[in-house]
Each structure stands twice: as C-alpha cells, then as structure tokens.
Structure 1
Amino acid sequence: MTVTLADVAARARVSPATVSRVLNGNYPVAAATRERVLRAVDELDYVPNGPASSLAAATSDLVGILVNDIADPFFGIMAGAAQGAIGESGAGRAGGEKLAVVCNTGGSPERELTYLTLLQRQRAAAVILTGGSLEDDAHLAAVTAKLARLAEAGTRVVLCGRPPLGADAEHVGAATLAFDNRAGARRLTEHLLSLGHRRIGYVAGPADRTTTRHRLEGHREALRVAGAAEGPTLHGPYDRASGYDATVELLRLDPALTAVVAANDTVALGVCAALRDRGLSIPGDVSVAGFDDLPFSVDAVPALTTVRLPLHEAGARAGRLALGAEAAPPGGLATIPAEVVVRGSTGRPPE
C-alpha cells in the first residue's frame, strides 16, 4: 500500500503542512519536530511524490553504486568500470549522461540502508550493490525490503560480486553477477596441495561477510577431499595490517607452516611482509597465495599467486545492466568463474 504524506503526519503527530515544510525545507521548523517527522518518514519508508517533488518522473537520471570501501581496489575497479559503462551507454532525460554516484558505506550495514533510502527518495534509475553482503538475517531482510520498494518504483537493481538475495526476494527482480568464490578458493588450495603442502595456514576476512565464508568453504573442501588436516585459521579485516598480524600469530600457532592463503591480495602483502621480517623466504620457506588478482599482484616481489576475478568486466556489465543496455542473465543470475594465476610466490615446500 502506498504511504501518503497524511500517513507520515499521523505517525509524527503533526499536520500535513508541517511534514511538507520539513521535506521541502522552505519554512523554519523546530528541531525536535523536524526530527520526529524524519523519523516517521524512515519508519514508513515514505517517498515524496507529485509535482512538488524535484524528481517527479518515475525515475531520475541518477544511478547509485554502493561499495564497502572505495579505497580498496576490489571495489574501486568495479565502481570505475560501472561508472564508465553508464557514461558510455546512458542518455538522461535531457539527452545527457546518467549521473553515477559512488556511495561508500565503509562496511557499515546502517550506512548501506541509509544510502538505499536516499536513493529511493531521489527515485534513482538504478542501484548497483557491489561485493559480499553481511551475514545477518535481519539486515538481509531489511535490504531486501528496501530493494523491493525501489524495484516497485521502477528502479533497476543489480548485484555485482554479491550473492543472490534468496528465494524470498524474487519480486525484487535483481540482476545478479555472482563471483564463484568457492570454486576459486578450492582450486587455489588444490594448487598448493599439488605442490606438496600439507601445513597451510589461512588468513580469512571478517567472519560476518559472505565473501569470507564462501572462500573459506572452498579452501576447506579442497583439504577435505585431499584428506589433509585443516591448519590454523584467523579472521580479520581485508587489509595489509590484518595479514601481517595474523601471520605472526599463525607462525606462533604452527612454526612448521609451509604455506599461507590470504583472504585477498592486500592481506597477502601483509603476510609477505611478516614473513620477510622474520627472515623467511617466499616461496623457499613459506608459499603465499592471495585472491582477486588486483593490479599490484604481478608487481609484488615475488609476483603473487592468486585467483583472478574479472572485476573490470563485471563492473562494466553491471553498468550496462543498470541501464537496460544489456539483457539480464537467464534466471537473473550469472555466476562469474574464478581463475587461478600461478606466479612466483608459491613453490614446493622445503625438504
């Protein structure tokens, strides 16, 4: 059922005229009253409508691209490629380009929902959500509900590098480009096992992220199939410091480790630094492997063995899907394969 301005007024216990003043910002309103109105707007998921709105059309020329961390090349590459594709393909109502706005959530679930609300109020033409999602049922339900409201209003929803929303979200109609993190991680660990490694430590990402879980599941599956024991696993942020600190702890837990798998390439840099600081050679003493194949991976010393994800291609495709310039994949879901790239940071374990 459509929420009206009168519904907001009733919830906030003010007149409809006061709600209008708060939303239009054209008349002074007491701070406490303004806060009460805005809280009612959020609670009811109200979106202004009609000629008084600056965006009275079904959708605007705005496309929102949500990322966890724009400073992380994983997200920067996808966002940049999506923005480029939108600029190339998107013609706005006045004949110009669509305006692609990158929304940096900082990994905050609250911020993610806030950005979706703001994009809903602006009647965004499309929303692209990148990267893994939070492993929290309440947050997933809130995001799904928000995306459903966006879709109902005509906004295209695209998930890039993010798992599907689930069977209960079919009404969202999202086009999903999901990275095959499990298979990539499994093949990477199989590569280490084929070299003879049996004492493998793992530096995982945050425990509450889908990407972390899927990559760890693939790693463990390879160990299980090979009949190899699981080595120590530590969780932390997807950053260099996490890789460094975790490696120090891994070596304390098992000084005989011959290989370390890192949650991503940035974490792998920290792993390599910690090993070098302790006088260990790579891969002579300890092999190191990462994930994502970020641009710096080939320039690391030694060059980093990793799992290549086609980040630029996926981002560009997400941009085209957001504009309707490319047909959605069959069933709304495309699984993007991951490829192991073997470089100098992995070798046979020491005798």
Structure 2
Amino acid sequence: MTTEGTTIEAGSAADTARATGDGVRAGAAGDTAVPARTRRNAPTLRQVAAAAGVSRATASRVINGGHLVSEQTRAVVEAAIAELGFTPNPVARNLANRRTGSVALVVPEPNQRLLNDPFFGHVINGLSLSLEAADLQMVLVVVRPGGAGHDRAVRYLTTGQVDGAVVTSHHREDALNRRLFESGLPCVFQGRPLGVPHAHYVDTDNVAGGRLATEHLVAAGRRRIGTVAGPADMSAGIDRLLGWRQALDAAGLPTDAVEHGDFTLMGGAEAARRLIRRHPDLDALFVASDLMASGALTELAAAGRRVPHDVAVFGFDDLGLAAATTPALSTVINPVEAMAERAGRMLVEILGGAEPPDEPVVLEAELVLRESA
C-alpha cells in the first residue's frame, strides 16, 4: 500500500540510503551540510548560467569538474559563481560522482486519486517504456500536496537517491515543483508547471482541445453551452477552460455557465448538479475530463435530461472510460502515454549530457466523436 511521502520501486530494489536530519541536506564527501531554508534562497544554477552567458548544462559541467569546457568559458562561469556567492548543490555533486540508475516519477496527489484515475496508469506505462529502453529503474514517489511527507519527499529526491525525476499533476500553490527545479535535480514535467519558468515539459495542447470540442458543439447547433472545468490551480484546468471561452467568444455566445470540479467522478457529478440547477436551459456541456463527464452523465439522467437529445456532452482524455459510458462519450484525445514516454526520453537525454530543448514539447489535440455529441 502506498503511503504519503513514501516511495515504491517498480521492479528490482534500488539503493535508498536516507539523508539524515530534518531541514538539512547532506552533501557529498567534502561538502558541508546546508540548512534547507538557506538553500531555497541561494543563487541557482540557472542564475549562474545567465550571469555567465552560457547554458545551464555548460555551467553545470564547470561546477562539477567536467573537461569539455574551454578555459575561457570556465573562467567566465567561475567569475559568475564568485560574484553571486553560489554554493554547489549536493545533488549536482552526487550526480557528478555517481549514478543510481533510478529515475523518480513524482505524483503530488492523494493516494486515492492515484489509484482511481486511469490517467496515472497511462503515465506509469508510458514512462516505463522510455526508462526500460535506457536501462533505468522507475521509482514512484507519491506526495500529498501540502502534507507532512512533502519535506521528506524533497529530501529523498534531492540528496542523490535518484538521478532525475519526471513530475506529473501540478498544483499552483504546491512548492514541490519549484523546490525540485531549483535544487538542480534534472527534472522534466508532464504538463505545464505553474510558477516554474524555464522548466522543461511535455504537454498536450489543452487550449486547442477545449476550443475544438466547443466549436464542434457550436457547429452542431448548440447555443447554451456550459462547462465543468478542471481545478483552477492546475494548468490543464486553466487551459481547457480558456479554449472553451475562446470558442464561445468567437461565436458570440455566453460564457457564464461555469462550475469547477477536481478531475474526479464525484467532483464532476457535484459540479454538474450545481450547473444544471443554475442553468436549466443548457443544451450542451464541455467537461474537462472523462471521469468528471461520467459523473455529469449520471446527474443529467437523474434530472431527466436525455443525452444527446436534450444536452450534448463532450469530455477530455479518451483513456478507455469514454467508450464505456452510456451513451459513449465524444472526447478530446489526451495522449498521456506518448507524453510520459517523451518526457522520459527527454530526461534520459539530459542525463546523458544533451542540451534540453528551449521550447516545450506540445502534442496536437484531436477529437473522437461518439454518441454523446
């Protein structure tokens, strides 16, 4: 059973020597332990690179004693280090000296969400494919947002227990993403992380997906189109809602019928119930996930509204559930496995010394039409 802040290895056991001391990150041999609160405010590797006018990878090679750097570049980077007062992070030192052969999949969600949402099974499968090809072990790290295990998970991830991390399911107020990124741990995010500029990430075009689904409903003659949006603190919820608004604004239709859910079945049902009560004239719904759309279908049936005759319904994800609902859901394809596989390959390339792309990788949105719309 997964518990908050613990790790689960998918496959053979890995060496998981623990860091000691609350709020202290133990460095490699020769380093002095640095209080975590001090490191959070310290100059970052990216700031050193920017001051020196070099890439983050080049700055890292200088700091970690790499030889593939010219003397001129080394001098510039060392001058920036001295000027900023940068102290090398223990993560970078550990990575320079050894490899664990393990990569973490970090899921900042409650255990129940991990077990009940098919999204995460597809993430695990996609990431496993890319890591197996690189002979790397995947370690699952589940962290409840804001929970007591947050600091413990950060210590585990940033003290050399893993070579890098793929992080999925991001919340705006959760400092985990920022702390991992600033630690120097090689990270790739699945989905656009909020509040972490310059992060490397792979995503689907959620804005286009929401817009295309809503445009389909408009083209079908629907004129009172509401939405059960995703969480307002997650980029997927924000972007899919934006796409819905763009389509309705372009059609000159109202955009007031909005309720937010939490990407769960129950959350979708509760949001749909509120929406139906507030806007009994709705003739279509765009729902930001298939799980929530499944809950919305139940509420529409309970209210005596036939789908699609009275209300057309469009979901988002197409991870298996959409084809099994009654009626089957029209939806937007969310290529979760492909995103996870690409994020894993990007991380493997970074660990191999490749310079990561400056721009995020964003996969195109596509529609699947079924009986509900």
TM-score interval, smaller chain:
0.7 to 0.9
In structure 2, C-alpha distance between the alignment counterparts of 1:299 and 1:49, rounded to whole Å: 47
Q: How many residues align?
A: 293
Alpha-carbon shift at residue 79 of structure 1 (Å): 2.1
Report if aligned partners of 1:66, 1:103 keep a CA contact under 8 Å in 2.
Answer: yes
> SS of the counterpart of 2:158?
helix
In structure 1, C-alpha distance between the alignment counterparts of 2:246 and 2:264, rounded to whole Å: 25
Report if aligned partners of 1:164, 1:176 keep a CA contact under 8 Å in 2.
Answer: no
Q: Does 1:241 align with 2:241?
A: no
Residue 70 of structure 1 is matched in structure 2 by 114
Residue 60 of structure 1 is matched in structure 2 by 100
Identical positions, percent: 30
Report if aligned partners of 1:61, 1:125 keep a CA contact under 8 Å in 2.
Answer: yes
Residue 280 of structure 1 is matched in structure 2 by 305
Alpha-carbon shift at residue 24 of structure 1 (Å): 7.2
The one-letter code matched in structure 1 to 2:209 is G
Q: Which segments of 5 or more consecutive residues in structure 2 lack a partner in the other structure?
A: 1-17, 26-32, 40-88
Q: Does 1:101 align with 2:136?
A: no
Q: How does 1:135-174 map to 2 (within 5 A)?
A: 135-136=172-173, 139=174, 143-151=177-185, 156-163=186-193, 167=197, 169=198, 174=199
Report if aligned partners of 2:105, 2:140 keep a CA contact under 8 Å in 1.
Answer: yes
Alpha-carbon shift at residue 166 of structure 1 (Å): 5.2
Would you tell me which structure has more helix in proportion to its own residues?
Answer: 1
Cα pair distance change 1:114/1:147, threshold 3 Å: farther
Alpha-carbon shift at residue 342 of structure 1 (Å): 1.2
> SS of the counterpart of 2:299?
helix
Alpha-carbon shift at residue 143 of structure 1 (Å): 3.2
Cα pair distance change 1:197/1:271, threshold 3 Å: same
> SS of the counterpart of 1:158?
strand
Q: Which segments of 5 or more consecutive residues in structure 1 lack a partner in the other structure?
A: 1-22, 26-33, 91-97, 347-351
> SS of the counterpart of 1:198?
coil
Residue 192 of structure 1 is matched in structure 2 by 217
Residue 334 of structure 2 is matched in structure 1 by 309
The one-letter code matched in structure 2 to 1:158 is V
Residue 80 of structure 1 is matched in structure 2 by 125
> SS of the counterpart of 1:234?
strand
Q: How does 1:13-28 map to 2 (within 5 A)?
A: none
* Greater displacement, 119-128 / 324-333: 324-333
Residue 334 of structure 1 is matched in structure 2 by 361
Alpha-carbon shift at residue 335 of structure 1 (Å): 1.2
In structure 2, C-alpha distance between the alignment counterparts of 1:37 and 1:318, rounded to whole Å: 30
Alpha-carbon shift at residue 218 of structure 1 (Å): 0.8
Report if aligned partners of 2:207, 2:243 keep a CA contact under 8 Å in 1.
Answer: yes
**Residues 205-243 of structure 1: CA deviation (Å, up to 9, x unaligned):** 222222111111110011101111114111121111112
Residue 12 of structure 1 is matched in structure 2 by none
Cα pair distance change 1:128/1:308, threshold 3 Å: same
State the superposition RMSD in angstroms.
3.1
The one-letter code matched in structure 1 to 2:342 is R
TM-score (norm. length: structure 2):
0.70
Residue 4 of structure 1 is matched in structure 2 by none
TM-score (norm. length: structure 1):
0.74
Cα pair distance change 1:107/1:179, threshold 3 Å: farther
In structure 1, C-alpha distance between the alignment counterparts of 2:220 and 2:316, rounded to whole Å: 18
